[in-house]
């Protein structure tokens, strides 16, 4: 509910801060020696426009906060499974980070069943099937790219000269 | 008449079993590349390029055309079924195609998309065959000033796309523009916002950004909703043929002609591309429609508009390529490479010296479109089986394909990492109820807009001089009118809401 309640104000404030940072950084960019409109022009324009819109959004939402609350009362509550999101996110980030050093085959074979287990609804977690699907899929994709498309995926520690 | 005679000869020439088989294979591979998020039409053309070395020039070019057509059209499959655009051109297909699929009308959505893809490409090829040299002359009149006008015009479409939620839509669009700024500035190459990272120097690539925003965030959203029971397997209503009636088809015709014209027009202008044309056609269809509120909730008009336009762009993009030797986007640039490899130089002389190749391409375009229609029609009922795979198995597999696709674009792992960043952006957008489309549209246009603006200023010295160009004026003023009109409409709606609440 917190997000629904204060979401717009958070967005407004975030964009105000972001545009302030953008303007500050843009001012430090070198001016162009040959023309009036240099590399700093667009960032400044975008920064200023964003600042204006974000300020308006924040202002309107603060001003009409009561109206917004009344609206929310009639809306049905939302249920979200943040645990699954967090786990999925962590697993994916780790996968992307180890993809290069460990290599495509090993990291994918480990990642896929884990991610499927996280997403699977309770009662549909059959590790054997998930692992089999993952292994076959990984090998097919690797072979397809390596031999079909001639694109070498990261080999990592498992260097093979096939 | 000479054009017709040449075209007739070309049709006879390409109708050999070998050449038809090669083209069918090309279309098939193109469709597969187009339909998998992460693999794109340009990647398919790049892979096929070496394969054409051993063929005759005419055959080689026809094969590349086949892959191109299949690739652009294939994007609609994953857009409709998975809500992930297979290629940048089919972004707008998701908006209405996926809601239709969720309602059980997957076959109808696919059917409409496929038929109008076909008609859109045929429309543009007819224009290409009979009007190429004339249209190329017009395209040459477009200087950076006019191109800036078009980009600015396209950008104001954001206001229409996000109506009802305009302030947040505009902020999303600004964020898209900000991400464009990262990397080397156009014209002078000054590094901007790279924070000392060499990886950021090249900026964010389009493909990883799209994958992240659409595919990765979709996976996170699935994770959020899977236990609430919202992610059920989508039911598929049975339907005959393409799933729509003759009457529905006739109703779509005005929409089709308008969208195909937009698509061909945008295609002719070098450097704007299919992704923009699809979205422009979508927004125009929404604006002209009698029931604009249905757009985004599964309105067939949206699918028709996008798919007619993005396929019509192919024929449009071939015009500057063949007549002037100017490639309009990544795919046509690679086809230009194909010409060079076969010792042909695209440009005005091509029509004189190698008329057989040129008209061979025209004929191949039409034949390949027909093949695309047949192959995809045959596949509709196979594609929809995709909806039967449980999401907890399908989503991780797609994520791996996305990572592989992002990696294969530039062979750098940084692109794979950046899809996570954009996935998070997409997920946060979903949580804060910010529309993603404005972000994507701005991201696609942002860099072009800055380049054309600064190039134009170099050419004309001042922004005021832009207004001496009538085409620029037209686009600029329509854009301003759209902005003012949408803001007023938004303001009125807001006031009405407040009055109803009694404040």
Q: Is the Cβ–Cβ distance between B378 and B350 less than 8 Å?
A: no
- pLDDT at residue number A34: 67
Question: Residues A58, A92: one domain?
Answer: no
Give which of A10, A15, A20 to mutate to test B binding, by max B Cβ within 10 Å.
Answer: A15
Q: Do A50 and B171 touch (CB under 8 A)?
A: yes
**Which pLDDT belongs to residue B271?**
66
* Closest chain B residue by Cα to residue A28: B192
Domain parsing of chain B, residue ranges: 2-498
pLDDT at position A21: 92
Interface touch A85/B393, C-beta < 8 Å: no
A37/B453 Cβ within 8 A: yes
Q: How far apart are CA B389 and CA B81, in angstroms?
A: 11
Would you say residue A9 lies in a domain? yes
Q: Are residues A53 and A107 both part of a single domain?
A: no
Per-residue pLDDT tens digits of chain A, which is 162 residues long: 677 778 888 999 999 999 999 999 888 887 766 667 778 888 899 999 999 999 999 998 888 887 777 777 776 666 677 888 888 899 999 998 888 888 888 899 999 999 888 888 877 778 888 889 899 999 988 888 888 777 777 776 665 555
Nearest Cβ partner of A99 from B170, B411, B416? B416
Tell me which chain B residues have a C-beta less than 8 angstroms from the C-beta of A85. 220, 223-224, 427
Contact B361, B128 (CB under 8 A): no
* Residue A158 domain-assigned (yes or no): no
Query: For residue A157, what pLDDT is reported?
Result: 65
Name residue, tokens 């945008």: B266
Residue at A162 is within a domain: no
Same domain, A8 and A60: yes
* φ, ψ (nearest 5 deg) of residue B183: 115, -165
**How far apart are alpha carbons B300 and B250 in whole angstroms?**
13
Model's pTM, two decimal places?
A: 0.84
Please answer yes or no on whether A130 and B393 come within 8 Å at the CB atom.
Answer: yes
A45 vs B449: CA distance, rounded Å: 13
Asked if residue A70 and residue A8 are part of one domain, the reply reads yes
Residues present in chain B in total:
503
Instruction: Find tokens 């049975």 and name the residue.
Output: B238
Would you say residue A61 lies in a domain?
yes
The verdict on A88 and A60 lying in the same domain is no
Residues A88 and A132 in one domain: yes
Q: What is the domain count for chain A?
A: 2
Domain's final residue, options A49, A74, A99:
A74
Cβ-defined contact of A92 to B401 (cutoff 8 Å): no
Predicted pLDDT of residue A1: 64
Phi-psi region of B179 (alpha: psi -120 to 50; beta: other; left: phi over 0): alpha
Cβ–Cβ below 8 Å for A18 and B178: yes
ipTM score assigned to the predicted complex: 0.88
pLDDT in tens, B310-337: 889 888 888 888 887 777 677 888 888 8
Look-up: residue for tokens 């099937």? A129
Sign of the Cα torsion B242, B246, B247, B252 reads: positive
Asked whether B121 and B315 are in contact (CB, 8 A), the reply is: yes
What is the H or E stretch that residue B183 is in?
A: strand B183-184
Is the Cβ–Cβ distance between A91 and A111 less than 8 Å? yes
Same domain, A91 and A131: yes
State the Cα–Cα distance between residues B234 and B101, nearest whole angstrom. Answer: 8
Residue of B43, B182, B223 to mutate when probing chain A, most A C-beta within 10 A = B223
Question: Is residue A43 domain-resident?
Answer: yes
Quote the tokens at residue B234: 């989508």
For residue B65, the number of C-alpha atoms closer than 13 Å in the C-beta half-sphere is 34
How is residue A143 written in tokens?
Answer: 């072979």
Q: Which chain B residue's Cα is nearest to A133?
A: B393
Residue B133 corresponds to which tokens in the numbers above?
């040299």
Cβ-contact B359, B10 below 8 angstroms: yes
* Cβ pair B399:A92 closer than 8 A: yes
Q: Which residues of A58-76 are buried (b: 16+ CB within 10 A; e: fewer)?
A: bebbeebeebbeeeeeeee
pLDDT value of residue B347 = 75
Report the half-sphere exposure of B159 (CA within 13 A, side-chain side): 20
User: How many angstroms separate the CA of residue A46 from the nearest CA in chain B?
Assistant: 7
Q: Is A159 within a domain? A: no
* Residue A64 domain flag: yes
Domain boundary among A45, A74, A103: A74
Domain containing residue A9 = 2-74
Quote the pLDDT of residue B274: 66
CA angle in degrees (0–180, nearest 5) for B323-B75-B416: 100
Q: Which residues in chain B (166-185) have CB-CB distances under 8 A to chain A?
A: 167-168, 170-171, 174-175, 177-178, 181, 185
Determine if residue B411 is left, alpha or beta; phi over 0 gives left, psi from -120 to 50 gives alpha, anything else beta.
left
Given this model, what pLDDT does residue B278 score? 86
User: Would you put residue B81 in left (φ > 0), alpha (ψ -120 to 50) or beta?
Assistant: alpha
pLDDT in tens, B89-113: 888 888 899 889 888 888 899 999 9
| Rounded distance between C-alpha atoms, residue B66 and residue B365, angstroms | 7
Nearest to B377 by CA among B111, B78, B75, B21: B111
End residue of a domain, out of A74, A93, A121:
A74
Q: Where are the alpha helices (DSSP H) in B182-245?
A: 206-210, 217-225
Q: Show the 3-state SS of B425-454.
A: HHHHHHHCCCCCHHHHHHHHHHHHHHHHHH
Whether the Cβ atoms of residue B313 and residue B89 lie closer than 8 Å to each other: yes
| Binned average pLDDT, 10 residues per bin, chain B of 503 residues | 79 86 91 84 83 84 89 88 84 88 88 92 88 75 84 83 83 91 83 82 84 86 75 67 83 92 85 77 87 85 92 86 78 84 79 81 89 90 83 87 84 86 92 87 86 87 86 89 88 84 62
A154 located within any domain: no
Q: What pLDDT was estimated at residue A48?
A: 93
Cross-chain CB nearest to A116 (options B178, B393, B401): B393
* Contact residues on chain B for A153, CB-CB shorter than 8 A: 404, 407-408
Dist. CA A111–CA A137, nearest whole Å: 12
* A130 chain-B contacts, CB cut-off 8 A: 393
Residue given tokens 């076969």 in the structure block:
B342
- Helices (H) and strands (E) counted in chain B, each on its own, are 20, 2
**Dihedral angle at the C-alpha atoms of B320, B323, B324, B329, nearest 10 degrees?**
30
Is the distance from CB of B22 to CB of B360 less than 8 angstroms?
no
Distance CA B317, CA B292 (A): 30
CA nearest to B129, candidates B316, B348, B330: B316
Which pLDDT tens digit goes with each residue over B419-443? 899 999 999 998 888 888 888 888 8
User: Any idea what DSSP says for residue A123?
Assistant: T
Residue written as tokens 């409109």?
A37
């Amino acid at each position: 509910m917190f997000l629904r309640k204060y979401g717009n104000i958070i967005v407004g404030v975030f964009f105000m801060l972001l545009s302030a940072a953008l303007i500050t950084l843009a001012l430090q960019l070198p001016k162009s020696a040959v023309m009036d409109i240099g590399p700093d022009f667009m960032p400044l324009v975008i920064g200023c426009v964003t600042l204006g819109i974000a300020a308006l959004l924040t202002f309107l939402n603060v001003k009409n906060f009561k109206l917004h609350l009344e609206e929310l009362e009639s809306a049905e509550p939302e249920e979200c499974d943040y645990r699954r999101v967090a786990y999925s996110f962590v697993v994916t980030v780790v996968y992307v980070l180890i993809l290069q050093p460990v290599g495509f085959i090993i990291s994918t074979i480990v990642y896929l069943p884990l991610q499927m287990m996280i997403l699977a609804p309770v009662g549909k977690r059959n590790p054997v099937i998930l692992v089999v699907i993952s292994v076959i899929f990984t090998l097919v994709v690797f072979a397809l790219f390596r031999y079909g498309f001639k694109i070498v995926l990261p080999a990592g520690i498992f260097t093979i000269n096939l | 008449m000479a054009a017709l005679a040449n075209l007739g000869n070309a049709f006879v020439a390409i109708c050999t079993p070998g050449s038809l088989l090669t083209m069918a294979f090309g279309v098939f591979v193109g469709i597969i590349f187009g339909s998998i998020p992460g693999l794109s039409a340009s990647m398919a053309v790049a892979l096929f390029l070496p394969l054409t070395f051993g063929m005759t020039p005419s055959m080689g070019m026809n094969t590349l055309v086949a892959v191109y057509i299949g690739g652009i059209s294939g994007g609609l499959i994953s857009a409709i079924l998975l809500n992930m655009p297979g290629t940048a051109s089919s972004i707008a297909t998701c908006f209405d195609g996926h809601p239709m699929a969720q309602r059980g009308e997957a076959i109808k959505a696919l059917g409409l998309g496929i038929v109008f893809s076909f008609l859109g490409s045929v429309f543009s090829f007819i224009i290409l065959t009979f009007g190429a040299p004339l249209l190329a002359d017009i395209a040459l009149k477009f200087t950076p000033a006019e191109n800036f006008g078009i980009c600015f015009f396209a950008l104001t479409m954001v206001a229409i796309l996000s109506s009802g939620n305009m302030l947040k839509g505009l902020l999303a669009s600004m964020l898209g523009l900000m991400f464009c700024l990262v990397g080397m500035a156009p014209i002078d190459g000054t590094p901007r916002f790279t924070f000392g990272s060499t990886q950021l120097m090249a900026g964010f690539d389009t493909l990883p950004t799209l994958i992240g925003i659409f595919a990765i965030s979709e996976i996170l959203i699935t994770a959020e909703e899977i236990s609430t029971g919202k992610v059920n397997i989508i039911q598929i209503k049975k339907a005959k043929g393409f799933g729509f009636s003759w009457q529905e088809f006739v109703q779509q015709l005005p929409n089709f002609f308008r969208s195909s014209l937009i698509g061909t027009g945008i295609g002719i202008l070098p450097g704007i591309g299919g992704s923009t044309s699809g979205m422009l056609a979508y927004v125009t269809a929404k604006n002209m429609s009698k029931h604009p509120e249905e757009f985004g909730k599964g309105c067939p008009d949206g699918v028709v508009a996008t798919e007619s336009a993005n396929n019509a762009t192919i024929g449009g993009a071939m015009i500057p390529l063949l007549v002037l030797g100017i490639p309009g986007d990544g795919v046509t640039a690679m086809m230009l490479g194909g010409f060079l490899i076969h010792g042909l130089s695209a440009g005005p002389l091509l029509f004189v010296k190698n008329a057989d190749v040129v008209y061979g391409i025209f004929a191949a375009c039409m034949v390949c479109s027909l093949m695309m229609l047949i192959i995809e029609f045959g596949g509709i009922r196979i594609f929809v089986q995709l909806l039967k795979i449980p999401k907890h198995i399908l989503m991780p597999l797609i994520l791996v394909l996305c990572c592989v696709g992002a990696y294969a674009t530039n062979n750098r792992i940084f692109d794979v990492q950046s899809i996570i960043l954009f996935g998070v952006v997409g997920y946060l957008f979903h949580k804060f109820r910010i529309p993603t489309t404005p972000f994507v549209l701005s991201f696609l246009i942002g860099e072009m807009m800055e380049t054309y603006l600064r190039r134009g200023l170099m050419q004309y010295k001042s922004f005021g001089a832009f207004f001496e160009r009538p085409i620029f004026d037209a686009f600029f003023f329509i854009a301003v009118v759209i902005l003012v009109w949408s803001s007023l409409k938004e303001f009125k709606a807001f006031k009405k809401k407040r009055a109803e609440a009694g404040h």
